[in-house]
Amino acid sequence: MSRILTFVFRRRGHGGRWHWTDIATWIWLIGGTILMFGPALWLVASSFKGPAQLAEFPPTLLPYIQQTAVVEGYDAPLPLYTATLEDGSVEVLAEIRRIGVNSQMVDPENPGERINVNIADRSPVREIGFATGNYVEPLVANNFLRFLWNSVFVTTMATLITLLTNSMAAFALSKYRFRGRDAVMLLIVATLMVPLSVILVPLYSVVNATGLLNTLWGVILPTVATPTGVFLLRQYMLTIPDELLEAARMDHASEWQIYWRIVLPLAAPALAVLAIFSVVWRWNDFLWPLIVLSQREHYTLQVGLNTYAGELNVQWHYILAMTVVTMIPVVLVFVFLQRFITTGIAGAGIK
Amino acid sequence: MAGFGKTLGRAVTWPLTLVARAVDPPLRVWQRWTGTGGMAAVFLAPNLAIFGVFVLIPLVLNFVYSMTGGTGILLDQRSFIGMEQYGRLLECEDYTRRITCREDQFWTAVTNTATFVIFQVTLMVTVSLITALILNRNIRGRGFFRAVFFFPVLLSPVVVGLIWRWILQRQGLLNLITVNLGLEPEVWLNDRFYAFAATVGVSTWAHMGFYTLILLAGLQAIPRDLYEAAEMDATPPMRVFRRITLPLLGPNFAVVLVLALIRGVQIFDEVYVLTGGGPGTSTLYLTQYIYEVGFASILRNPGLAAAASILMGAVLVVLTLLQLWFSRRAEGRRAR
């Protein structure tokens, strides 16, 4: 163990001496790790708790489920409690019903005799267990499966269209000389200044006029012509040598074939980065879907979650579980593809 | 696994390949007809069409909307009223007292946003800079820790908002800590001050990893030999920081500052989910004001929302121009 610690905390260079800055560094890093991952882990742990346990204070770290027992003479399984009886003995009893501060209980072994226990003298028998119903019920009953499907559809379609249209535009802007090329580039730079939040009202009326209101395409189309995507791909395509294109033209390849069979495969790394970004962007979109979609069956996960979380009586056990579901694709991207994103940002400064 | 991935990749691209093959013959005819110039137009057309319909036209329409009145969203239900909406937004009897303004909600949103931006950007830049400096040291597992701070950046704002709403509620994790410290539990988001602080803290938590990455890239571009020379001369660390690190990081630092400002002004999603603008209007920020006036409230007024968004847009344009200018300088430095 101590060898592992020495290995982890060994400093490069400077021999083995510790400076106060090294200590500060590790406090910052370890504290940061807890702060960055802790809330999400707490969410996951909470999402497996039942409604009663969620209302408890202080909260427990792990999810527990109250044990129940089938007792002769009763149809439904009864919840089990450890009760302290009047004579001081402690027994595991099943509760039949609660009347005021008294609980009517029965010994599962001996169901004939009823025992009255003050509710202060009993505590539930619990075992670590997962309230999986939190996940199953909203997916089945509260159309979260529908929301999930809508989100998947929007993300996939938007990403495919983004990749196609952006790469075509980037190809034209990097491999052709034509009049007005600089004007087009400037126009695209200019859109960086027009975030969606500035054009909400007129965009809504345009989407309305094109008949896309309350459809998933109304969510998809306004987001796909991203200036950052065109930039990223154009920068990459500029590095593809023009000689390759010339050689293909000698062999009577059409311009479309050159784009499709030469430039696109060569730009695969940049396309992959854009695809990852696009998936995360579109999966996480909130404000625009919130405005365009007003019927429940069209909601994406983000909008559906917000609607259920905004109700007067928030059903936290469902909300937490569905938040975890919403988080899953992004966590997968983080675990497997995080490297592509971080290098993408460090290189091009995009988000 | 690799074989499966390849098969899956082929299954996805196969229909696309068929389409690509099908469009080739007509495009060949077009190419013979118009030359490469015509092909450039073909390649640009889809992107520019979408861009024109969903960005350019709305951009122009925004000005039209801001000069019309009425509650209808379609333009033919609206009447031209000139600059009245702007007048309504900006008119106050006494400019030192928000209450006397005709649209006091707008002024509340503006002052809230300004306060938010000041606190959030300061906190964001400070925390990101410290983290970047620490990650730039010779530490084990740098890649791991860089990823750690980046994790919340990927989370959706709705997820971020809900995670923290859950932590800050009455039976939440934060109250567990306060109670253990011997303090009273608090319903954090029902308190004006704490709710505001939560929006600042949570949005910083969610985005600092992004700025850390940019700053780290800037730090790593600083030539090592400068530091070695400083070490030879036994320069004190604070002076190394002031004389080498800060000036050479300058342009990147400016980019981060302006980017954080731009994002801060537009803050909406996570705050809307976290506090909904409350309690009262204490965390009502500009984008939420626009959203509510334009869409959500019963007495909606799209013209007023458009006017407010144009005023916000003007601020953003200035900030973006600054950003472009700074990032060009940062790039120039990197090339040198």
B308 neighbourhood in chain A, CB within 8 Å:
none
Instruction: Tell me which residue of A236, A178, A172 sits closest to B45, measured CA to CA.
Output: A172
How many CA atoms lie less than 13 Å away from B258 in the CB half-sphere?
A: 20
Q: Both A140 and A28 in a single domain?
A: no
In angstroms, the CA A277 to CA A330 distance is 11
B145 neighbourhood in chain A, CB within 8 Å:
29, 32-33
In angstroms, the CA A41 to CA B228 distance is 42
A169 touches chain B (CB under 8 A): yes
Whether B273 and B157 have beta carbons less than 8 Å apart is answered as yes
Tell me the CA distances in angstroms from B84 to A118, B91, B92, one per residue in order. Answer: 70, 10, 14
Whether B147 and A338 have beta carbons less than 8 Å apart is answered as yes
- Between chains, do A349 and B176 touch, taking CB under 8 Å as contact? no
Helix/strand/coil for B33? helix
User: At B91, which helix (H) or strand (E)?
Assistant: none
When scoring B47, B67, B238 by the number of chain A Cβ atoms within 10 A, the one with the most, hence best to mutate, is B47
Per-residue confidence (pLDDT) for residue B332, from 0 to 100 = 64
In angstroms, the CA A246 to CA A156 distance is 34
Per-residue confidence (pLDDT) for residue A346, from 0 to 100 = 67
Residue B103 is given by DSSP the state T
Q: Which residues of chain B have pLDDT under 70?
A: 1-3, 5, 330-336
Our count of domains for chain A comes to: 3
A194 touches chain B (CB under 8 A): yes
Q: What is the per-residue pLDDT across B222-272, written as a single tens digit (0 to 9) for each? A: 888 888 888 888 888 888 888 888 888 878 888 888 889 989 999 999 999
Whether B31 and A255 have beta carbons less than 8 Å apart is answered as yes
Q: Which residues of chain A have pLDDT under 50?
A: 13, 349-351
Burial A49-68, CB ≥16 within 10 A → b, else e: bbeebbeeeebeeebbbebe
- Between chains, do A256 and B24 touch, taking CB under 8 Å as contact? yes
- Between chains, do A342 and B170 touch, taking CB under 8 Å as contact? no
Domain borders along chain B are 104-335
Tell me the CA distances in angstroms from B109 to B89, B241, B266, B312, B314, one per residue in order. Answer: 12, 38, 11, 11, 16
B84 touches chain A (CB under 8 A): no
Residue of B nearest to A27 (CA): B134
Helices B246-265 and B104-135 meet at what angle, rounded to 10?
Answer: 150
- Between chains, do B156 and A330 touch, taking CB under 8 Å as contact? yes
- Between chains, do A37 and B140 touch, taking CB under 8 Å as contact? no
Whether B65 and B86 have beta carbons less than 8 Å apart is answered as no
Per-residue confidence (pLDDT) for residue B75, from 0 to 100 = 77
B290 touches chain A (CB under 8 A): yes
B84 CB neighbour count, 10 Å cutoff: 17
> What part of B 152-171 touches A (C-beta under 8 Å)?
152-159, 162-167, 170-171
Whether B171 and A59 have beta carbons less than 8 Å apart is answered as yes
Q: Both A158 and A278 in a single domain?
A: yes
Per-residue confidence (pLDDT) for residue A226, from 0 to 100 = 82
Contact partners, residue A39, CB within 8 Å, separation at least 6: B163, B164, B167, B205
Show the DSSP H helices in chain A as ranges: 2-9, 20-46, 51-54, 133-141, 144-175, 181-191, 200-209, 216-224, 227-238, 242-250, 255-257, 264-266, 268-284, 287-292, 301-309, 316-348
Per-residue confidence (pLDDT) for residue B333, from 0 to 100 = 59
Quick one: B205 exposed, middle or buried, by C-beta within 10 A (0-12, 13-18, 19+)?
buried
Residue A56: inside a domain, yes or no? no
Burial A280-303, CB ≥16 within 10 A → b, else e: bbbbbbbbbbbbbbeeeebbbbbb
A73 touches chain B (CB under 8 A): no
In angstroms, the CA A74 to CA A68 distance is 12
Name which of B47, B53, B312 is nearest A198 (Cβ-Cβ).
Answer: B312
How many CA atoms lie less than 13 Å away from B84 in the CB half-sphere?
A: 11
Residue A52: inside a domain, yes or no? no
Range of the domain at A155: 135-348
- Between chains, do B172 and A59 touch, taking CB under 8 Å as contact? yes
A54 touches chain B (CB under 8 A): yes
Q: Is A44 left (phi over 0), alpha (psi -120 to 50) or beta?
A: alpha
Helix/strand/coil for A351? coil
B159 neighbourhood in chain A, CB within 8 Å:
305, 323, 326-327, 330
A253 touches chain B (CB under 8 A): no
A225 touches chain B (CB under 8 A): yes
Q: Both A11 and A78 in a single domain?
A: no
B154 neighbourhood in chain A, CB within 8 Å:
280, 330, 333-334, 341
B269 neighbourhood in chain A, CB within 8 Å:
286-287
- Between chains, do A201 and B147 touch, taking CB under 8 Å as contact? no
A9 neighbourhood in chain B, CB within 8 Å:
140
Residue of A nearest to B267 (CA): A197
Per-residue confidence (pLDDT) for residue B128, from 0 to 100 = 94
Residue A59: inside a domain, yes or no? no
Largest CA-CA distance found in chain A, in angstroms, rounded: 101
Amino acid letter, residue A232:
L
Residue of B nearest to A224 (CA): B50
Q: What is the per-residue pLDDT across B275-321, written as a single tens digit (0 to 9) for each? A: 988 798 999 999 999 999 888 877 788 888 889 999 999 988 888 88
In angstroms, the CA B102 to CA B93 distance is 8
Per-residue confidence (pLDDT) for residue B1, from 0 to 100 = 46
- Between chains, do A260 and B20 touch, taking CB under 8 Å as contact? yes
In angstroms, the CA B112 to CA B110 distance is 5
Q: What CATH number does the domain containing A257 carry?
A: 1.10.3720.10
Q: Both A269 and A314 in a single domain?
A: yes
Q: Both A116 and A154 in a single domain?
A: no
Choose which CATH entry (1.20.120.450, 3.40.50.2000, 3.40.50.2300, 1.10.3720.10) describes domain B104-335: 1.10.3720.10
Largest CA-CA distance found in chain B, in angstroms, rounded: 82
Name which of A200, A260, A339 is nearest B290 (Cβ-Cβ).
Answer: A200
Name which of A203, A209, A338 is nearest B147 (Cβ-Cβ).
Answer: A338
In angstroms, the CA A172 to CA A180 distance is 12
DSSP codes of every residue in A295-345: SGGG--HHHHHHHHHTSSS--HHHHHHHHHHHHHHHHHHHHHHHHHHHHHH
What is the distance in angstroms between the CA of the first residue and the CA of the last residue of chain B? 44
Q: Both A41 and A147 in a single domain?
A: no
B269 touches chain A (CB under 8 A): yes
Final residue of a structural domain among A112, A128, A144? A128
Tell me the CA distances in angstroms from A253 to B14, B30, B31, B38, B40, one per residue in order. Answer: 20, 14, 11, 16, 16
Q: What are phi and psi of A109, to 5 degrees?
A: -75, -30
- Between chains, do B46 and A164 touch, taking CB under 8 Å as contact? yes
Q: How many CB pairs under 8 A join A and B?
A: 289
